[in-house]
Amino acid sequence: MSKNEGKPTSGDRDEIINWRIANMTKFAADLKPIVWDRFQEAKNDLYIRIGGESMQAVSLKDESALSGCGKPRGKLDDIVVEAKKPPKRLGEGSKKGEEYVFNRKKERRLQAHIIKKSLEDNGSLLGAKLFKCLGSTFDELVFVTDEISFGDRDQENTNELPMEFCPDGKKANRPDTVRCDILAVGKIGKETHPVLIELKSDRSLKRLFEQLDNASFDIGDHRNPNGGERRNSITELVKEITGKKISSSFDVKKILVWPGGKSSLQTAKRIAESKVICIDYSEKDFTNPNDVEFTLYGACAKSP
């Protein structure tokens, strides 16, 4: 598949999103275990990231977390070849030095660690130390993909933001492109829902709320006027990658992972009231993802 094959030219953002998700589903269908066993390759510190226009092998090693191996490609055979190329180490070639950059890529390194641990456990996120605390919330929590992108910088976006997220109380549109760190699928009782996970190394609450809100809208929550088609597209993508079928009446679940702070308890309660599950991690231990500590506040541990 060429990069822009079939890409809508109407300028409609929703058409672009639907096209990208359909492409991701096609790419996922090519990733058969006989050619690329994602669970086995994770043990070799490799993972294929599926994008809306191409795929790319990325590293899951801590020193080169999520760095690309070779170039993005549209065909699996080409990706397998590119995956053999060594990734760049974090900070390689930087004037500030590798150690400086490495120690400031906490979020990226944790994301690579989470992906690796989940794929080594057949996709389950609940086995990762950071997410074990969610065992009372989700019966299953399975990794789908990372860095999923909605929209296109070249397309006009006319979807307005809720007023509480608009600068200075003035009307504003949603960003042209919205990204989500990790897309997962979670089972609660008999219902299965898409789960958005954001990993942040700062505590800018307004910006994080906005990011989760935008991604939830683009997945097809109840506010989206084009939600029906989008929900079907996301359902097909998740099923192709994980084999899990999302409930037809799904409710987008949101998880925020960020550093602890002096006002964590009060802030976590505010987040919980907004139906966002909050996990605080200990930044002191963040440089070693295996030893990261966490706190899940009781108000957030309950299913929204």
pLDDT digits (tens, 9 = 90+) for 122-178: 999 998 777 887 888 899 999 999 998 886 555 444 455 444 444 444 444 555 678
pLDDT digits (tens, 9 = 90+) for 211-250: 888 888 888 877 777 678 889 999 999 999 999 999 988 8
Residue type, 276: V
Does 2 fall in a domain?
A: no
Q: Which two tokens stand for residue 90?
A: 């974090």
Does 5 fall in a domain?
A: no
Does 1 fall in a domain?
A: no
| pLDDT for 42 beyond 80 | yes
Does 26 fall in a domain?
A: yes
Does 170 fall in a domain?
A: yes
Band (188; pLDDT cuts 50, 70, 90): very high
Whole-number Cα distances in Å, 226 to 13, 152, 235: 11, 17, 15
Three-class SS string for 263-302?
Answer: CHHHHHHHHHHCCEEEEEECHHHCCCHHHCCEEECHHHHC
| pLDDT for 268 beyond 80 | no
| pLDDT for 43 beyond 90 | yes
Tell me how far apart the alpha carbons of residues 143 and 119 are, in angstroms, rounded to a whole number: 8
Considering its fold, how many domains does the chain have in total? Answer: 1
Band (57; pLDDT cuts 50, 70, 90): very high
Q: DSSP label at 124?
A: B
Does 119 fall in a domain?
A: yes
Give the domain extent around 288.
Answer: 13-301
Which of 47-61, 163-177, 247-261 has the weakest average pLDDT? 163-177
Does 279 fall in a domain?
A: yes
Predicted pLDDT of residue 282: 63
What is residue 128's three-state secondary structure?
coil
